[in-house]
Amino acid sequence: MKLKEIYSSNSPVISFEIFPPKADAQNYNDKINALFGELKILSKYNPAFISVTYGAGGSTRDKTLELVIKIKNELKLQPTPHFTCVGASKTEILEYIKEVENAGIENILALRGDPPKGQDYFVKPKDGFGYANELVEFIKANTNLGIAVAGYPEVHPEAESAKDDLINLKRKVDAGADIVITQVFFDNSYYFEFVEKAQKAGINVPIVPGILPITNIAQIERMVAMSGTKIPENLTNSLKKFENYPDAVKKLGIEFAIIQSKELLKNDVPGIHFYPLNKSFATDSVLKELNINSVLEN
């Protein structure tokens, strides 16, 4: 089912994001089996789709496609592979997106991508694309895939201003994106303001909030450093208070994600895209409390 159809319902849609284990890991197969065990737990919520990332510079691109096909065939869930402009020519991009489509995959998440490791700035590949809107336009012109793109409630770290960031988002939507999935945020006011400004700018596709239940302080600190995501002061103080008590941190993170998700759902969001970081426990705990399933049946 294409993204446009998935989000045509008035009921909230649940989806998840996972990442492939490192391709060169000696115990790669064991990690895949463990990941599928986690996905089986989350599959009871009938997710509309599972988005699958790949490493910087497309370092796990082939493994991502293998994983995507395995999810589709073995779990009977709808996978949505990520694809970026990084390190790929138009010829290579066309080959990959056709391979995705020929595998029976219906949707893709198109991104510019982060600079490869060791580079401070994104460099447009030779005969490739420098911006996500160009990638979206190319996918739209060459396939029938549904297309998701990323949005940044707290502004993309490379954008000159919030206004410029919205202009860039509108370019992606105008190029053919069907939905926007947001970067993780911990203060819902950023999301609500972002949606309001996006709609005023003429962006009229569903904007799906991205939620990450906190389970590890060091992990969150890395994310904040990389993306500039802000954590509310009361949450920061509580996390510091329990930083030497991992179970208390998980409990606090889950409780915060429940409160955050309930407020979003009360305000009629099109769905919630959870970032479980390849572990089911926290997201499963949140969804149990929310007591909702995706509107789609697999």
Collapsing DSSP states into helix, strand and coil, what is residue 117? Answer: coil
- Reported as a single tens digit per residue, the pLDDT across 132-161 is 999 999 999 999 999 999 999 998 888 889
Collapsing DSSP states into helix, strand and coil, what is residue 189? Answer: helix
Q: Regarding predicted confidence, which is higher, 66 or 126?
A: 66
The letter for the amino acid at 196 is E
- Categorize the per-residue pLDDT at 297 as very low, low, confident or very high, splitting at 50, 70 and 90: very low
Paired residues of 12 in beta bridges: none
The yes-or-no answer on residue 17 being catalytic is: yes
Q: Please compute, for residue 156, the number of CA atoms within 13 A of its CA located in the half-sphere on the CB side.
A: 18
Which residue of the set 5, 17, 38, 221 is catalytic? 17
Collapsing DSSP states into helix, strand and coil, what is residue 64? Answer: helix
d(CA 106, CA 187): 32
d(CA 265, CA 258): 10
- Reported as a single tens digit per residue, the pLDDT across 19-61 is 988 777 678 889 999 999 999 999 999 999 999 997 555 556 6
Look at residue 242 in the predicted model and tell me its pLDDT. Answer: 93
The letter for the amino acid at 244 is N
Q: How many residues does the chain have?
A: 298
For the record, the structure tokens of 196 come out as 């309001």
Q: Quick one: average pLDDT of 155-176?
A: 91
Choose the weakest-confidence range: 172-186, 228-242, 251-265, 269-283.
228-242
Mean residue pLDDT of the chain comes to 89
The correct CATH number of 3-290 out of 3.20.20.220, 3.40.50.150, 3.40.630.10, 3.30.565.10 is 3.20.20.220
Look at residue 117 in the predicted model and tell me its pLDDT. Answer: 59
Locate the domains of the chain by residue range. Answer: 3-290
For the record, the structure tokens of 103 come out as 């595998």
